[in-house]
A and B are shown apart, each in its own frame.
Chain A
C-alpha cells in the first residue's frame, strides 16, 4: 500500500545555501542536518510542511508548499470554498 506521506513539497537548493544552519534550528523533525560543515537534506520524508525553514531561510534555498495538515479543515474548506483551512 502506498504511503501518502513519503512524498512532499519540500525542495532544497544546495547552490543557494550558505550553510548558516537556520533551517536546522527551526525544523521540528530534524529534516536538515550538518554533514562535514555542509547543510544537507537528511530526512526529507519526515517533513510536515510547516514552512518554518522556508520562512527563515534568508537565501531562498528552501521552498515548501506549507499548510495545515488537517483533514477536517481541508474538507471543510473544500465544502465552504474558504481560502485557508483553519480550526474553529
Chain B
C-alpha cells in the first residue's frame, strides 16, 4: 500500500455552507462541527512548482485561504486541528510540528512537488518549530502573513511587511465576539436575574440584565477607552457607571421604606452590579489578541476575590432588606 493519496479539488468560491457556518460561528452554535477533511487540496490547477500553503481544518480558516487565492494555482495542505482555527490550535500544539510532519508524509508531498518550501500562516508559529520540520522532512517552513487576504501580495513579493505581521484588535473584531458571549452567558444571566426578582423586584432583575449587558455588549467596543490597564478594573468602572441610575432609582424610593432602607437598596445595587460586569470583562481576556497568560493570572488573584465579596455583600444586603420589608419594617 504505497499509492499516492487522492488530491482533493478545492473551490475558491464562497459556498452556501460557508455562509451558514459563518452565521453559526458568530452565534457560537455547534462550534465543533465546522470541520474540513484534512489532507492535500488543489487550488486551481497547480503543478510541481506551485506554492504549498498550510492551514487548519477549521472551515472558516480554509475558506479564508482558498477564497484569498482565487485565480492563483497552488496546493493547500490542511492539518487535522480538530476543527480549531490556526492560532488557537497552535497554542495547544494541535497545529504543530508532529501533525505537519505526518501530513507531509501522508500526502506524499515530496513526490508531488519539486521545490521544498512550505508557507505557513504566521499565527501557526506557536505550535510549529520551523527548524525541526526542516530537520525531519527537508522542507523549509516560511511564515507568511497573519491574514490570508495578504497572501496574493506575499506570493508576489516573497515578503510579509511589518503590517502583515502585526496582530491588532480593531472594533469590527471586538464586536464580532459579542453574540457569542451573549449566547455563552445566557444561562448565567437567567440564573442571576430570575431569583433577584423575588428579592428586589423588576428593578433588581433589570439591574442584573444591565450589568451583564455592560460586560458583554458595552465593554468590547469601549475597551481601549476605559480607564486603567487591567480588564477587571475597567469592568468595575463600567459596571459602576451602569449601576448609578439603578442606585438613584432605589434611593428615590422604588422599593419604598424609610430613608435607611432606600439607602440600603441603593447600596445593594452599587455592590452587586459592578462585580458582575467586571467578571465578564475579565473573561473577555480570552477573546483578545494580546493578553498574556501570566498577566491574566495576576488579575485573577488580585480581583476575583474582591468581585466575590462585593457580589455576595450586595446580594445579602438585598435579601436582608427584603426580609425586613416582609416583616413590616
| B122 interface contact, C-beta 8 A | yes
Chain B: interface size category: 35 or more
| In the complex, B136 has a CB within 8 A of chain A | no
The answer to whether B290 and A29 touch across the interface, beta carbons within 8 angstroms, is yes
Contact B126 A50 (CB under 8 A): yes
- Residues from chain A with a CB closer than 8 A to the CB of B127 are 55
Encode contact with B along A58-88: 1 for CB under 8 Å, 0 otherwise. 1000000111111111110000000010111
B contact residues around A1 at 8 Å (CB): 228-230, 233
Measured CA separation A81–B50 after assembly (Å): 47
Q: Does A26 contact B (CB under 8 A)?
A: yes
Residue B260 CB within 8 A of the other chain: no
Interface bracket on A: 35 or more
Interface membership of chain B positions 158-194, coded 1 if the CB is closer than 8 angstroms to chain A and 0 otherwise = 0010100111000000000000000000000000000
Q: Is the CB of A5 within 8 A of B125?
A: no
Number of A-B contacts (CB under 8 A): 129
Interface residues of B in 222-256 (CB under 8 A from A): 228-231, 233
Q: Which residues of chain A from 21 to 35 have any CB-CB distance to chain B below 8 Å in the complex?
A: 22, 25-30
Give the contacting residue for A56; candidates B125, B231, B296; CB below 8 A. B125
Is B293 a contact of A5 with CB atoms below 8 Å? no
Q: Is the CB of B300 within 8 A of A55?
A: no
Q: How far is the CB of B188 from chain A (nearest CB, A)?
A: 11
The reply on A39 being an interface residue by CB < 8 A is no
Classify the secondary structure of A's interface with B.
loop
**Contact yes or no, A70 B289, CB < 8 A:** no
A71-B130 in contact (CB<8A): no
Supposing A46-B290, A72-B283 touch, asked if A25 and B230 sit within 8 A by C-beta, the answer is no
**Cβ–Cβ contact B166 & A30, under 8 A:** yes
Tell me if A26 and B143 are in contact (CB < 8 A): yes
- Is A55 within 8 A of B302, CB to CB? no
- Contacting residues, chain A, for B304 (C-beta < 8 A): 75
Chain B residues, Cβ within 8 Å of A9: 292-294
Q: From residue 1 to 50 of chain A, which have CB atoms closer than 8 A to chain B?
A: 1-9, 22, 25-30, 46-50
Enumerate chain A interface residues (CB-CB to B < 8 A). Answer: 1-9, 22, 25-30, 46-52, 55-56, 58, 65-75, 84, 86-88
19 contacts between A and B (CB under 8 A): A1-B228, A4-B296, A6-B229, A25-B165, A26-B125, A46-B290, A48-B290, A49-B293, A51-B91, A55-B128, A56-B130, A66-B126, A67-B294, A70-B286, A71-B296, A71-B300, A74-B296, A74-B300, A86-B92
Residues of B that sit less than 8 Å from A by CB:
31-32, 88, 90-92, 122-123, 125-131, 143, 146, 160, 162, 165-167, 228-231, 233, 282-283, 285-300, 302, 304
Extra inter-chain contacts (8) besides given A4-B229, A71-B231, CB under 8 Å: A3-B229, A4-B298, A25-B165, A26-B125, A66-B91, A69-B285, A71-B283, A71-B285
